[in-house]
Structure 1
Amino acid sequence: MIAELNRLIELIEDRLTDDLDVASLASRLGTTEYHLRRMFSSLAGMSLSEYIRRRRMSVAAADILGGGDLLGIAVRYGYGSTEAFGRAFRSVHGLSIGDVKRNGGPLRQQSQLRFRLTVEGNITMETRITDRPAFRLVGHAATVPLIHEGINPHIQAHIASLPTTEHSRLKALSDDEPAGLLQVTADVDPDYAEGSELTYLHGVAVADTTPVDDDLDTIEVPAGTWAIFRTEGEYPAALQKVWAATATDWFPSNPWRLRPGPSIVAILDRADDFSTAITELWLPIERAAGDASHASSR
């Protein structure tokens, strides 16, 4: 995966003024757009779209300082007007184009990234791979923003809004793996950007043939392969640490890639105050061509 990401950086650099088709670039690299975007954002600390925007505005700054025609520069970098280009420029550099022309900066330059191999393996990951037939996730869904670290208050509020009887009702419905009440995230932005919207479902897994009441939200899950990561410790910090390590350690070291589908967290055991927990993180995967490189970092 590291080689593919570095090749992606080179392709982007060659096409900064083009209308980049990330799906085609991913296909050229022998992977999928979904996996490429997720791995890039996890390793780079920013979304792929944000990186492209920052690089374009960094190179465009040199064109502006060189005295080029502003409309021509805007069109070259994919903007239909100088106003739209100016907004994008200010969002990256924190200065207007006029300020830069007068004072020359200061500019917030985005350097070209380079992903490198490191041999860390500093997190022991208890993992198993399983093939599962189709099943359904049923429960109560809400649209919430993505928060990478700490407790998501929007999810907390959603769960708190459900009466106790609903938790009991869902538990009684559960008849498939993963067992018990589940935390499900679906429809996640491929760039995995902080604050982007996703679907959160508080529910359970049921067999494809299990009858379900019409008032419950349903996510149909097709047959496929899953990687299951068991975590134990402070909640949710331990879970979030292992989730991040799947990108930095596990996927670069194994011949698998993420495939579209919901991510599922099963709470196997927890303290009364939920300060600690034993959990299982279920991620949908598929076999990918590539080497078995060790962990990576920027």
Structure 2
Amino acid sequence: MISALNRLVDLVEEHLTEEYLAGEHLTEELDVDGLARTLGTTEYHLRRMFSSLAGMPLSEYVRRRRMTVAAADLVRGGDDLLRIAVRYGYGSTEAFGRAFRAVHGANPGDVRRDGGPLRTQPQLRFRLTVEGSFPMHTRIVDRPAFRLVGHATRVPLVHRGVNPHIQQHIAALPMEEHVRLKALSDTEPGGLLQVTDDLDPDAAEGTELTYLHGVAVAGDAPTPADLDAIEVPAGRWAVFRTSGPHPETLQNTWAATATDWFPSNPWRLRPGPSIVAILDRADDFSTATCELWLPVEPN
């Protein structure tokens, strides 16, 4: 996986100045899927791992790199602003200027005159450091098809701390509804579940996802008409057990799956919902024991 990510970075560099590309959509022109297949993985897994390890989605990295290289052209001089804009895929100096300011916080003309200020994005290089300081309590589970039922809503992605939108969604449900949902649970993962689905592969902070507060039921179980449902096909799951301060321990484990577990194990993410089962918790939810279920397939 580390070599695949570095090859993806090389692919970005190879396409930074192709003038036929549409300025805002370079990552759509990159053949990420073709590269992934060549490297024996999938575009979905490659994008998810890039975002987790780089701390930014691939599209953001591409934008920063293009404007870093464009800034060097500006400072060197020689070409007029329109020629530079076209070189980096923009049809006008206005569009190029907007993209440039979004990265550097300064106008192209000011940078050409003053040599800065610039916020450069170095070329990434991924390396695997094995420390063994974060033990991963994991099991692989092969599950038949099942259904997730409950109350769903669309919320923005929050990487750190409590997601207030999810908190509000859960708090709006009456206590008897939690009891009713829990009684419907009849298969693994058991109990009340926190489900995220329709997550963008780049997993950028603030992008929307579907959150479902509910339970897992057998695939042939009837679903009450007033509940939302997510059909989950048969497949394998990596199940990570966590225990400690909540949600910090859970979020740290989620991050460690990308930095430690996936690079060291012959599995990759496949599309599907991510599920958190709360096994035990303090009354104030300050600590909890959880299971994080991630859909996987052999690498």
Tell me if TM exceeds 0.5.
yes
The correspondence for 1:263, drawn from 258, 266, 274, is 274
**Contact 2:241/2:289, CA 8 A, preserved across alignment:** yes
| Structure-to-structure mapping, 1:213-292, within 5 angstroms | 213-288=224-299
Counterpart CA distance in 1 for 2:89 and 2:17 is: 7
User: Is 1:58 aligned to 2:58, yes or no?
Assistant: no
Counterpart CA distance in 2 for 1:157 and 1:203 is: 15
**Number of positions where the alignment pairs a residue of Structure 1 with one of Structure 2:** 288
- Aligned to 2:196, the other structure's residue is in SS state strand
Counterpart CA distance in 1 for 2:93 and 2:124 is: 28
Deviations 1:239-258 (A, max 9, x none): 11111100000000000000
| Matched letter for residue 45 of structure 1 | G
Counterpart CA distance in 1 for 2:38 and 2:117 is: 37
Q: TM-score, normalised by structure 1?
A: 0.94
Gaps of 5+ in 1: 289-298
The correspondence for 1:138, drawn from 143, 149, 156, is 149
| Matched letter for residue 176 of structure 1 | T
- Aligned to 2:206, the other structure's residue is in SS state coil
In the TM superposition, what is the alpha-carbon distance from 1:124 to its structure 2 partner?
A: 0.8
The correspondence for 2:115, drawn from 104, 112, 118, is 104
* Residues 27/75 of structure 1: CA separation in 2 closer, same or farther (3 Å cut): farther
Counterpart CA distance in 1 for 2:212 and 2:170 is: 9
Query: Could you say which structure has the greater relative contact order, defined with CA pairs below 8 angstroms and 6 or more residues apart?
Result: 1
Give the structure 2 partner of residue 174 of structure 1.
185
| Structure-to-structure mapping, 1:196-215, within 5 angstroms | 196-215=207-226
Give the structure 2 partner of residue 41 of structure 1.
51
Gaps of 5+ in 2: 19-28
Counterpart CA distance in 2 for 1:62 and 1:177 is: 55
In the TM superposition, what is the alpha-carbon distance from 1:23 to its structure 2 partner?
A: 2.1
- Aligned to 1:95, the other structure's residue is in SS state coil
**Contact 2:154/2:210, CA 8 A, preserved across alignment:** yes
Give the structure 2 partner of residue 292 of structure 1.
none
* Residues 99/172 of structure 1: CA separation in 2 closer, same or farther (3 Å cut): same
Counterpart CA distance in 1 for 2:132 and 2:95 is: 45
- Aligned to 2:102, the other structure's residue is in SS state helix
| Matched letter for residue 170 of structure 1 | L
| Matched letter for residue 147 of structure 2 | R
Deviating beyond 4 angstroms after TM superposition, the runs of 4 or more aligned structure 1 residues are none
User: Is 1:162 aligned to 2:173, yes or no?
Assistant: yes
In the TM superposition, what is the alpha-carbon distance from 1:73 to its structure 2 partner?
A: 2.1
In the TM superposition, what is the alpha-carbon distance from 1:172 to its structure 2 partner?
A: 1.1
Counterpart CA distance in 2 for 1:79 and 1:159 is: 45
| Matched letter for residue 104 of structure 2 | H
User: Is 1:87 aligned to 2:98, yes or no?
Assistant: yes
Counterpart CA distance in 2 for 1:189 and 1:77 is: 26
Counterpart CA distance in 2 for 1:276 and 1:82 is: 53
**Contact 2:8/2:32, CA 8 A, preserved across alignment:** no
In the TM superposition, what is the alpha-carbon distance from 1:147 to its structure 2 partner?
A: 0.6
| Matched letter for residue 225 of structure 1 | R
